[in-house]
Amino acid sequence: MTWDSLLPRPVLVRPAAGVLELDENTTVGGEPTTADWFRRHVGAATGLPLADAERPTVEFRVDPAGSVPGGYRAQVRPDGVEVVAHDAAGAHHAAQTLRQLLDPSAYRSALIHYGRFVLPCGQVEDRPRFSWRGCHLDVARHFLPKREVLRFVELLAMHKLNVLHLHLTDDQGWRFEVPRFPELTRVGAWRKRSMVGRGPEPEFDSRPHGGFYTADDLREIVAHAARHHVTVVPEIDVPGHSQAAIAAYPELGTGQRPEVWDSWGVSSDILNTDPATADFYRAVLDHVMEVFPSPVICVGGDEVPGITPEHGAFLRELIEHVHARGRRASGWDEILDAADPLPAGTIIAAWRDEQAAVRAAERGHDVVLCPESHFYFDHRQADHPDEPIPVGFLTTLEKVYGYQPRPDVLGVQAQVWSEHLDTPRRLDYAAFPRLSAFAEVAWSQQHDLADFQRRLVDHHLPRLDACGVEYRPLGGPHPWQTRPGVPGRPR
């Protein structure tokens, strides 16, 4: 590979003559978590031991004076690699860059390439554009097995993304074990059937769907993400999108016991605002904060039919509870009006329009840009008749890449909602390669669509192939990626 193959694009590259060949004598050391990651992943793909050494061939060194948080400098010479990073996260980003400089077979889990493994000589200076480079993953509508969440974390880190926003609860399923409230998963984690597509008349399958994560499952996901310098931000959505919880504990609702919802859209079953309901959710959030060390906890707050001032007070109570525990709450941009005035420090996920971001900033809140118009990856990728379940806005790869974020925000985030993504293969198709384009928007200072497309086609898609990612081909879906006869609802 060459220096002009990197994705996302670095700040500055200075190629030089020569190469460094990795061989049986190559050693790796320095920042321990990064050296271990490089040894484990690149070592597996190359078949090389990449042993530790006092004076390693490839050294990851941390010096806070060397860059900004997440940033690094790397120099590759014929006799070795020197990385100087601001912090351990920067060292990991440098390791991801070095992996990209190798052949795509460096992304295999075992040795299949018996040629030379070489790094081109040169220098790179790099740093992130935004501190929050996130991806929201909805595991409530369709449960994603733990192994697939672990894999998704690795794909985020490959793209230098650093936040996994995990949407754990909704009308269609509760995916988080809370020992004090066992009905949340005994009842709330399962539904009898699911809507198929979004046609003018509802259509359903007859297959039960469900699943949930134990606390240890989630601790494992958190630890795996931490090794990849990805923070897992959990979301427990209130007071709407709560029908699964109400099905488990009907006293939380405003009527009789419903079933876990089998449809898509917005359910009218919402939480009541009784003190006992607030106590219930404070206990849930306490357990969430015990499992997730994330500095940010999302309380949702979006799409609440018939919301009242009492619901706004309910949201403020829960946000204040999160803040009292030393964390920061985040919520979707509806909470700007529903719970005004919001406690200081609340983060706003602005998804509806730019004005929401403006209003949040004017009120002193940090903002994460999550625009539905550009960063909702369940939305259709083309208007071709073979495009599977065409819902939402037309959101092409080029449209994602062309988004221009406000510079005064905390960061940006892509959303992978899963109503129509019922398998990991469907998730891959919806997310990639659009998430690769998003990653360059989130990380890189400079953008050039033609150059991005060249790097994507010539270099990055082969990496995704080696990882086993079943992305959408740029020319349209493979026959097995289509969904003939399943209706959508384009906007």
Does 489 reside within a domain? Answer: no
Does 490 reside within a domain? Answer: no
Residues 178 and 41 in one domain: no
In this predicted structure, what is the pLDDT of residue 244?
A: 98
Angle at 213 between CA 209 and CA 214, to 5 degrees: 135
CB-side neighbour CA atoms (13 Å) of 227: 17
Q: For residues 410 and 447, is the Cβ–Cβ distance under 8 A? A: no
Residues 154 and 12 in one domain: no
In this predicted structure, what is the pLDDT of residue 113?
A: 81
Residues 412 and 327 in one domain: yes
Task: Name the packing angle between helices 88-101 and 32-46 (round to 10°).
Answer: 20
Does 107 reside within a domain? Answer: yes
Residues 139 and 118 in one domain: no
Q: What is the dihedral of CA 33, 38, 40, 46, to 10 degrees?
A: -170
Residues 88 and 118 in one domain: yes
Does 147 reside within a domain? Answer: yes
Residues 119 and 168 in one domain: no
Does 397 reside within a domain? Answer: yes
Does 222 reside within a domain? Answer: yes
- Catalytic annotation on 303? yes
Residues 346 and 431 in one domain: yes
Q: Which residues contact 377 (CB under 8 A, 6 or more apart)?
A: 395, 414, 415, 416, 417, 430, 431, 434, 435
What CATH number should be reported for the domain holding residue 376?
A: 3.20.20.80
In this predicted structure, what is the pLDDT of residue 123?
A: 98
Does 418 reside within a domain? Answer: yes
User: What are the DSSP E strand ranges found in 139-238?
Assistant: 163-167, 169-170, 173-174, 190-191, 209-210, 231-238
Choose the final residue of a domain: 100, 126, 152.
126
What CATH number should be reported for the domain holding residue 91?
A: 3.30.379.10
Structural domain count, the chain: 2
In this predicted structure, what is the pLDDT of residue 278?
A: 98
DSSP state letters, 234-249: EEEEESSS-HHHHHH-
d(CA 380, CA 481): 13
In this predicted structure, what is the pLDDT of residue 114?
A: 81
Does 232 reside within a domain? Answer: yes
In this predicted structure, what is the pLDDT of residue 455?
A: 98
In this predicted structure, what is the pLDDT of residue 66?
A: 75
Choose the final residue of a domain: 126, 149, 167.
126
Residues 121 and 137 in one domain: no
Residues 98 and 193 in one domain: no
Output the six-digit token pair for 422. 């019922």
For 379, the domain range is 132-481
Residues 37 and 116 in one domain: yes
Of the candidates 61, 5, 67, 3, the one whose C-alpha atom is nearest the C-alpha of residue 28 is 61
Q: Which residues contact 97 (CB under 8 A, 6 or more apart)?
A: 6, 10, 74, 124, 126
d(CA 248, CA 182): 9
Residues 341 and 437 in one domain: yes
Beta bridge partners, 132, equal 411
Choose the final residue of a domain: 96, 126, 156.
126
Residues of the chain with pLDDT under 70: none
Residues 119 and 143 in one domain: no
d(CA 217, CA 224): 11
Q: Which residue of the set 183, 303, 317, 320 is catalytic? A: 303
Q: Give the full edge-to-edge strand order of the sheet including 80-85.
A: 12-22, 117-126, 72-77, 80-85, 58-62, 28-30
